Chains A and B, each alone.
Chain A
Amino acid sequence: MAKKVGVLALQGAFIEHIRVLGELGAEAFPVRLPGELDGLDGLVIPGGESTTMSRLMLDYHLTDRLRGLARDGLPIMGTCAGMILLAKRVMDMDVEPLGIMDIDVRRNAFGRQVDSFEIDIEMPAFGETPFHAVFIRAPVIERVGDGVEVLARLPDGTAVAARGGDMICSSFHPELTCDPRFHAYFLGAI
């Protein structure tokens, strides 16, 4: 049976995730309200503006519900803003993240939009072929806790993707490239 994957659709690039997941055979759909979180096999928190998303999550009572689901073991993947929201601690952010993955994250770590970039990076978990990664006003991982494995680093050693139990995150946007390995890896884990 197709896996049911919700994609948080409060703001940002959620349609792109739904498309990739659909192509991989999952039943993917947008989630905007708590009632739509029932019966999911996994959840994706997309890229977008983390401050916008966190405020809308609070207003519509998604924050505590998501924390509860994470405690109960719901696998969650977060890209860019999604990674910020998963983190335990976020530097320079006045809104509380979900705090459900044991990582510390710095927002806009490379600077402003003119410093956004794309690059091929090694991702041993996906095999030998490098992964083409698109970084847009991207955050980075500054600390990983026990049991969290770094999945990818930039050439200078900066951690930009990680997995901790059922949580997977990246600084970059696998939903913006044609390479489905990141989403396939997530679907394989749930």
Chain B
Amino acid sequence: MDKGTWTVKTGLAQMLKGGVIMDVVNPEQARIAEEAGACAVMALERVPADIRASGGVARMADPSIIVAIMGTVSIPVMAKCRIGHFVEAQVLQALGVDFIDESEVLTPADESHHVWKYDFNVPFVCGCRDLGEALRRIGEGAAMIRTKGEAGTGNIVEAVRHMRAVTDGIRRIQGMPQDELMAEAKAIGAPFELVLEVHNTGRLPVVNFAAGGIATPADAALMMQLGADGVFVGSGVFKSQDPEERARAIVRATTHYQDPDILAEVSKGLGEAMRGLEIGTIPKESLLSPRGW
């Protein structure tokens, strides 16, 4: 009997596909997410919009919050550690979380190195802005990837940019003659073996979700039509006027992402979405997506 293998790590990510993973900060929100049909929850102390507003150093959540949420829902519970903070990751694994998000939403602990994720039995998901970044994280052992977007903004523009960049990178490599692959690996800073795999299969070796700025059912369906395997919704649900209805609507939109009639139906009467931020108004040093490399 083998535990913590690559197959069981990437396999859990495969089981999450077509689903919505919601940020929650307490057991009540976790229950709302589960009842709305979320396929997993992300246990946090503050959603990204509040982290952005309050400033200071953002760290792994208090374990008692994570444990309370794990005790409330039967769906998988994820939690975030800081980039490079392998001891926070050890703590999260000891708590028994089902997935660790090594996340740019928290203040990085290491500006040069991410966690060596093969040291863990629990699977990791990591953010990326393009294919090179995705393949670097997979090279370190990430069993799932998400595009970063710009968390806590309710603005989809960065998520779209990052998803298109990944897809474009895959298309380029797939169409390339073999003798150009090494130069491409060098150019995008990705492990050669993974570049070769993308060339041969035409897809990422792991599941890729969209994250960072999804606030409406149409946002979720947009990311699915752009090729995401599923979506993370952070502040978009619990910073809106009617979290229950919005959560349900985003779940339904993610399943029926190709059906405009259903999308129209679920988009009705949801109340106000989170207010949101224009990316250009955010000072450069406050952007989250450039964290990590």
Contacts and interface: CB of A to CB of B under 8 A. Distances in A.
B98 interface: yes
A84 B16 CA distance: 16
Interface stretch (B35-43, B174-182, B214-222, B282-290): B35-43
B17 A115 contact: no
Given A52-B39, A117-B3, A59 B252 contact: yes
A89 interface: no
Interface in B233-274: 251-252, 254-256, 259
B134 interface: no
A115 B2 CA distance: 9
12 contacts: A9-B255, A10-B18, A11-B37, A11-B255, A32-B255, A56-B37, A56-B255, A92-B74, A113-B8, A116-B3, A116-B11, A118-B7
A107 interface: yes
A63 to B, nearest CB: 14
Contact of B98 (A9, A135, A137): A137
A47 B11 CA distance: 10
B183 interface: no
B14 A13 contact: yes
Contacts of B75: 49, 51-52
B39 A134 contact: no
A175 to B, nearest CB: 9
A23 to B, nearest CB: 16
A48 B38 CA distance: 11
Contacts, number: 120
A51 B11 contact: no
A35 B3 CA distance: 41
Contacts of A61: none
B37 A116 contact: no
Given A49-B75, A51-B37, A56-B37, A118 B18 contact: no
A168 B92 CA distance: 37
A143 to B, nearest CB: 20
B200 interface: no
A134 B11 contact: yes
Contact of A113 (B74, B98, B252): B98
A176 B255 contact: no
Interface string A106-134: 01100111111111000000000000001
B8 A136 contact: yes
Closest 3 pairs between A and B when the two form their complex, measured CB to CB: A113-B98, A116-B8, A49-B39
